[in-house]
Amino acid sequence: MNQQHGGAAELIRSGGAFLGIEFGSTRIKASLIAPDTTSLASGSHAWENQLKDGIWTYDMADVWGGLADCYASLVQDVRARYALDLTNVAAMGFSGMMHGYVVLDLEGKLLVPFRTWRNNITGRACAELTPLLDFAVPQRWSVAHLYQSILEGQPHVSRIAHLTTLAGYVHWQLTGEHTMGVGEASGLFPIDPETGDFDAARMAKFEALIAPCKLGWQFRDVLPAVLPAGRPAGKLTAQGARLLDPSGKLRAGIPLCPPEGDAGTGMVATNAVRPRSGNVSAGTSVFAMIVLEKSLSRVHEEIDIVLTPDGKPVAMAHSNNGSSDLDAWIALFGQVAKALGGEVTLDDLYGKLLPLAAQGDPNAGGLLSINYVSGEHMTGFTEGRPLFVRKHDSQFTLENFVRAMLFASLCAMRTGMNILTEEEGVVIEGIRGHGGFFKGGDTGQRMMAAALNVPVSIPATAGEGGAWGMAVLASYMLRSDATQSLPDYLDERIAGSIGTPVNPDPSDVKGFAEFFARHQKGLAIEREAVKALS
């Protein structure tokens, strides 16, 4: 065992490592890191959302079973690498898909199935809340789901005792603390950056709106406490330790940092928490997060205003549809290869097919892909129908096909980014990318640079993902200098890992602009497809 390896083993044995776990859309992932943020071990569990009774959801049994399996996978990795059992850590934290709707009664029982960010079923609520609050309330926000439930007279509403998110729910069950980080909370109800808590004036307006319904509870009373990054948020209970590790080896009493959303952990993982910095998370969904220097001039329904984990305003351009349609096509190509007698792995397919996009025509040869597996709020769709369209004289090549697929996944986000850059004059000095879109060479960077016309870099730490970012937030809670800001903390530990940026190629930028214009016109086809294929 070399000295470095031995040092890591001793750190883990002594309980000095930090653990982050994130509930992503397709994977639950665990990351164990050293105090200097070096990755020590990881674990994961694959899962998928389900469409039940018109609602995108995950069963709570899958939440707990998946969490235990993910943790067991981490324990196995630690055992394989260091020949020891993981029994203790210095601190831990949990994050999850932002927003959505988790409501519980006084006994902590779930009142309705978890409604994820992917649902676009709260249009009426948002249409009322946005002007009332003078704040863009997206369909996936928790308050939108709550008010839609009130408008529809859903029977569970009168029994609500707690409203939270997936990350907040998991944290609460493991610690007994009904709390969440300020970044995650900003996707539940608007936050006042000056106070770091839910906006009191807007809270009063919402309370007055629902008062005639005589629900039997006050809105603020069902919400979690809000904490900034760096504050303690409870300790792992004995019951919580058993939920995480049914084997019983994990010790209770571990301190937890405030739970955060995947947007916040993405900002941390890419060290994009200062004004003029931004990151793009590109995977099942695609969203850009730009830290603002000043408030926007007016409300834009397409743009969410959320906060960094330390409470700085961020403009988010969020697209529900990212890689799902591309993933389906890649799987089909795998079936083709198998039918022809070949055996290829998914990694091989992605590794060999995605780079072909860089060899395609700048505008994808006139091909059109619309990747709406689900609804897309950015462009006004409550449902989606994935489409591929071409004219008789389009250049129908594999290279152009893959390029069209990648470009399509960025169009809804580009719609929102145009509002920020063209209407609001937001300056973006560079984008840092993370997520599956950027795997395998620089193809993802090149396509993203073409779509946003800014340099795109990939931090070495971005590949570690949100679980790693959550572990970093756990380590920040135990920093030696309690006055050190989160941006300074990240600069000290991960600034040197920011990769060389890929600058936008003028021909790629022009080609994406042509594709984007074609995509905008093609949305008329999408609307008819939704009607025809109901």
Residue 193 CA: distances (Å) to CA of 47, 182, 197, 361, 435: 35, 9, 7, 45, 28
C-alpha–C-alpha distance, residues 382 and 371, integer Å? 14
Alpha-helical runs (H) found in 190-297: 200-210, 219-222, 238-244, 262-269
Contact 53, 126 (CB under 8 A): no
Q: In b/e form, how buried is each residue of 296-324, taking b as 16+ CB within 10 angstroms? A: beeebbbbbbbbbbbbbbbbbbbbbbbbb
- Which of 394, 458, 391, 463 shows the shortest CA–CA distance to 430? 458
- Both tokens of 475, joined, read 């380590």
DSSP assignment, residue 393?
Answer: T
Q: Strand, helix or coil at 420? A: helix
Q: Tell me what pLDDT residue 463 has.
A: 57
C-alpha–C-alpha distance, residues 416 and 317, integer Å? 5
- Which of 455, 445, 468, 372 shows the shortest CA–CA distance to 415? 372
Contact 278, 288 (CB under 8 A): yes
Residue 151 CA: distances (Å) to CA of 124, 145, 154, 308: 8, 10, 8, 31
Residue 126 CA: distances (Å) to CA of 286, 301, 302: 21, 9, 12
- Which of 412, 446, 416 shows the shortest CA–CA distance to 431? 446
DSSP assignment, residue 101?
Answer: B
- Which of 324, 500, 507 shows the shortest CA–CA distance to 412? 324
pTM value? 0.83
- Other beta carbons within 10 angstroms of residue 41's beta carbon come to 23
Cα 465 to chain centroid distance, Å, stands at 10
- Which of 101, 75, 98, 76 shows the shortest CA–CA distance to 88? 75
Q: Strand, helix or coil at 430? A: strand
Q: What are the respective helix, strand and coil percentages of the chain, to the nearest 5?
A: 45, 20, 40
Q: Tell me what pLDDT residue 108 has.
A: 92
Residue 26 makes CB contacts below 8 A (sequence gap 6+) with 46, 47, 48, 283, 284
Q: Give the type of residue at 451.
A: A
β-strands 430-434, 387-389 pairing:
unpaired
N- to C-terminal Cα separation, the chain: 61
C-alpha–C-alpha distance, residues 173 and 240, integer Å? 6
Complete domains list, the chain, with CATH: 272-458+504-534 (3.30.420.40)
Q: Tell me what pLDDT residue 1 has.
A: 37
- Which of 192, 88, 181 shows the shortest CA–CA distance to 486? 181
Quote the Cα angle for 35-273-512, to 5°.
120
pLDDT average per 10 residues of sequence, the chain (534 residues): 70 97 94 94 94 92 97 98 96 93 95 90 94 93 97 97 97 97 96 95 97 96 97 98 97 98 89 88 88 91 92 92 94 96 92 96 98 92 95 98 97 95 91 83 94 90 79 96 94 78 96 98 97 94
C-alpha–C-alpha distance, residues 161 and 534, integer Å? 37
Residue 349 CA: distances (Å) to CA of 84, 342, 355: 36, 12, 10
